Amino acid sequence: MARVPFIGRLFWREYLALLGSLILVAFEAFIRVITLGLPQPIIRLCYNTSRRLFNSLSSTKSKQARAQNKTISHSVATCSDFTELCALFGYYAEEHIVQTGDGYLLGVHRLPFAKGEDYDHARTNAGPGSTSKPVVYLHHGLLMNSEVWVCLTEEERCLPFALVNQGYDVWLGNNRGNKYSKKSVHCSPTSPRFWNFSMDEFAFHDIPDTIDYILQTTSQPTLSYIGFSQGTAQAFATLSIHPGMNDKVNLFIALAPAMSPAGLNNGIVDSLVKSSPDVLFLTFGRKSILSSATMWQSILYPPIFVRLIDMSLGFLFAWYSKNISAHQKLAAYPHLYSFTSTKSVVHWFQIIRNKSFQMYDDDSSNAMSIGSSSRYYKVAKFPTRNIKTPIVLVYGGSDSLVDIRVMLKELPKHTMAFEIPHFEHLDFLWAQEVDKLVFPHVFEALRHFAVERENAGTPRSLALTLTNTAHYHRRQGSGSVGWSEDEASYSDLDQTSPVIKSFAQRQRERPYTTRSPANASMVALPWSEKRPVVEVNGQASAEQLSASANGSGAGAVDKTGESNSDLDIAEKTIRPPSSQGGDRRSVSGSSSASPLVHPKFGSKGISVGTARPSVVATVNPDLSS
């Protein structure tokens, strides 16, 4: 089909989808104009009407469940800002302002004291006489702000609170244009010039300038970076184009990492991805995108607003949020949306369309020109393989935005990856078991790279060596996607590598290649019948033996070549009742678990070190202590 100017290369179905999306956007704009002109009593009437309608259609059981959890979820949902959310749980929060090199003023939040610490007299990282703490910097995702980290209904599931209670100096950043960073010294937010930014500006200014401000304020030489979703993409871009930043960031933990999404199957979104940026700017304008979300939140009863968000996430991304409780959604969804530019979303559409983690293409509108051919014109990619900082990826197996194989090909060889099989994108913020399945990976990585190695006198400019990576694998007790000592010269994604690939590595390649089961057989280790390893041509890989010795079996393969997943084993195993073993928590097979204690397999709590599930040991606290 010939390319049509202005629209782009679309098929007739995509034209219809694009037309439908334009109609929906126009309808929403019409409603928004009407809403802005309505007096407050009319808006309250709409809200109360939606509430009565919802309650009349709800069952008695659902009403009782909402009533039981209404207090805390309502308190979290109605908090006006970050400091109020922290104060709700008894934490003191500071507010800081960072001016970027191009004049934007960014709001940054800080949690310097643990709960109960005397913040009236104590000082943290403030020079002589103050308490020195390692610094951790957290950054949010697309269309979000720092509130998404702390709007949880249980304190134990809040990562910033858990970190500050473990002795870290916790900072939380914000992107230009969002709720806390809607100001510039050069122009007003009412001007299109203010919103003329994409991820390039985040990488060239926002992240490095914020990191420099934090290190200058705390007098610390390095910090650890934890990003979520687009917050990980901004770190990938920043560390790749600023070599000096690799000396200032001692560890990068990427939760639900986003770099080059696999693509979306939804017709409307797919048509927008393939269309010209001119169409997107015509549809959403050249300022902030989806700013009408606040309007819907103000006129809809919260449970209805939650249903609307859930339907939108399922429709666009196939996320069904089953791991997030209903009262957590009521508490968190009012804090989910924050402003960003249309251009930054267009940037993501270019990345998805071109399947390349690239900088913003300012010339993509001229698709008809001769010079637009890749022979004469190529958009600069972020050189992510140049990153020297240790990278730990923790991703969800049910996250439609993550293609871990594509991502690993674009990252340096020292990258480590861990999968939570049933987690979706937002689960890394608000899932019921986020503290059991995600936090252990974060704490272990911080202890090894940010605390222990610095206390041992390791140079702060950490270029991760193969020995360091292998040591971390042994401590973690999980078959990571990263390198091991036995793979010292080859990437596990290198098809020409003479090193025999482990079972976990071949499992990652399974969707791309057909694996022959002819030479696969089972070898049981002497100490356990539940942790077989795979023998290929009579030779078992050293990485398998090492992982099994650390209590991190990767499952088995029968003679037919089909995998007997540890997840299947877990589903057939009955968890011992809590009354027999006291309080049991799901932990990854790390060094904290004694090797003399045989693990008990539980059906709840799954943590994965590769692209297949690995059952987590449920350790008896009386024995492991």
Order of strands across the sheet that contains 533-536: 520-523, 533-536, 539-540
**Cα-to-chain-centroid distance, residue 420:** 12
Is the residue at 577 inside a domain? yes
pLDDT of residue 363: 78
Q: What is the pLDDT of residue 617?
A: 32
Pairing between β-strand 520-523 and β-strand 533-536 as defined by DSSP bridges: antiparallel
70-77 and 60-68 helices cross at what angle (nearest 10)? 60
Q: Residue 537 above 50 pLDDT?
A: no
Dihedral of alpha carbons 152, 156, 159, 164, sign: positive
Beta-bridge mates of residue 602:
none
Q: How confident is the model at residue 466 (pLDDT cuts 50, 70, 90)?
A: very low
| Residue predicted with more confidence, 64 or 73 | 73
Q: In this predicted model, what pLDDT tens digit does every residue of 181-217 receive, in sequence order?
A: 999 999 999 999 999 999 999 999 999 999 999 999 9
- For residue 522, the cross-strand partners are 534
Neighbour count for residue 227 (Cβ, 10 Å)? 26
* pLDDT reported for residue 491: 36
With H, G, I as helix, E, B as strand and everything else as coil, classify residue 562: coil
CA 150 to chain centroid, in Å, comes to: 15
Note the pLDDT of residue 389.
97
pLDDT score, position 265: 59
**Neighbour tally for 49: CB within 10 Å:** 12
Half-sphere exposure of 212 (CA within 13 A, CB side): 14
Coil, strand or helix at 8: strand
CA atoms within a 13 Å half-sphere pointing along the CA-CB vector of 472 = 32
Residue 496 lies in a domain: yes
Record the tokens describing residue 398, joined without a space: 């049910």
Secondary structure (DSSP) of 350-373: HHHHHTS-B---TTTT-TTSGGGS
Question: Per the domain annotation, does 514 fall within a domain?
Answer: yes
* Band of residue 93 on the pLDDT scale cut at 50, 70, 90: very high
47 phi, psi to nearest 5 deg: -65, -50
| pLDDT tens readout for residues 232-279 | 999 999 999 999 999 999 999 999 999 977 666 566 666 666 666 777
Long-range (24+ apart) CB contacts under 8 A made by 355-361 are 355/260, 355/263, 355/406, 356/260, 356/381, 357/233, 357/236, 357/237, 357/259, 357/260, 357/381, 357/382, 357/384, 357/410, 358/382, 359/200, 360/198, 360/199, 360/200
Q: Which helix (H) or strand (E) holds 279?
A: helix 277-284
pLDDT attached to residue 251: 97
Q: What are the helix and strand counts (H, E) for the chain?
A: 27, 16
The tens digit of pLDDT for each residue in 471-492 reads 555 555 544 444 333 333 333 3
Q: Kindly report the average pLDDT of the chain as a whole number.
A: 73
243 SS3 class:
coil
Encode pLDDT of 420-464 as tens digits. Answer: 999 999 999 999 999 999 999 999 999 999 887 666 554 443 434
Q: What does the pLDDT look like over 326-345, one tens digit per residue?
A: 999 999 999 999 999 999 99
pLDDT tens by residue, 409-426: 999 999 999 999 999 999
Question: Which residues make Cβ contacts (< 8 Å) with residue 36, sequence separation at least 6?
Answer: 295
pLDDT digits (tens, 9 = 90+) for 567-609: 343 333 333 334 334 443 333 333 333 333 333 333 333 333 4
Number of domains in the chain: 1
Looking up tokens 């008894």, which residue turns up? 90
Output the CA angle 418-173-94, nearest 5 degrees. Answer: 125
Q: Look up the pTM and report it.
A: 0.70
C-alpha to C-alpha distance for 97 and 99, rounded to whole angstroms: 7
Q: What is the largest CA-CA distance in the chain?
A: 78
The pLDDT assigned to 442 comes to: 97
CA distance 252 to 474: 19
Q: What is the mean pLDDT of residues 77-85?
A: 95
Split at pLDDT 50, 70, 90, the class of 352 is: confident
**Higher-pLDDT residue of 15, 136:** 136
Tokens matching residue 544: 């398998």
Q: Report if residue 223 sits inside a domain.
A: no
- Strands 416-420 and 391-396 turn out to be parallel
Residues 583, 621 contacting (CB under 8 angstroms): yes
Q: Is-contact 439 162, C-beta < 8 A?
A: yes
- Where does the pLDDT of residue 298 fall: very low under 50, low under 70, confident under 90, or very high at 90 and above? confident
Asked if residue 157 has pLDDT above 60, the reply is yes
Burial of 262: CB neighbours in 10 Å, binned 0-12, 13-18, 19+ = middle
279 in a domain, yes or no?
no
Which residues are designated catalytic? 229, 399, 425
Residue 466 token pair: 């193969």
Query: Which structural domain range is residue 522 located in?
Result: 488-625
Q: What is the pLDDT of residue 603?
A: 33
pLDDT of residue 65: 58
To the nearest whole percent, how much of the chain has pLDDT over 70? 58
